[in-house]
Amino acid sequence: MNQQVIKIFVSVAIRDADRVLLVQEGKQESLGLWNLPGGHLEFGETLQAGAAREVKEETGLEVSLSGLIGAYTWIRATSFLSL
């Protein structure tokens, strides 16, 4: 049976004056690239909670979010075979 999976991703811009915090990717497909801290939400998680969790996991920093810069949609069709 084919199933469609929806994943919601968050990225967090942490700013200090004119600097922005970046993390270096460790996954094979993006190894060594620099990016904003972020990742996908867990089931039932709010955007704010997921964003703060991802920052903590990737940087060790505990943050409180002060605003939303934007929300963007990118849809990619992917199906998974369930055995």
Write down all domains in the chain, each with its CATH number in brackets: 2-77 (3.90.79.10)
pTM (two decimals): 0.78
24-76 confidence digits (pLDDT tens): 998 899 999 999 999 999 999 999 999 999 999 999 999 998 888 888 887 77
Structure tokens at 8: 């919601």
E strand or H helix at 43, and its extent?
none
Structure tokens at 80: 């998974």
Report in angstroms the alpha-carbon separations of 58 from 23, 29, 78. Answer: 7, 17, 26
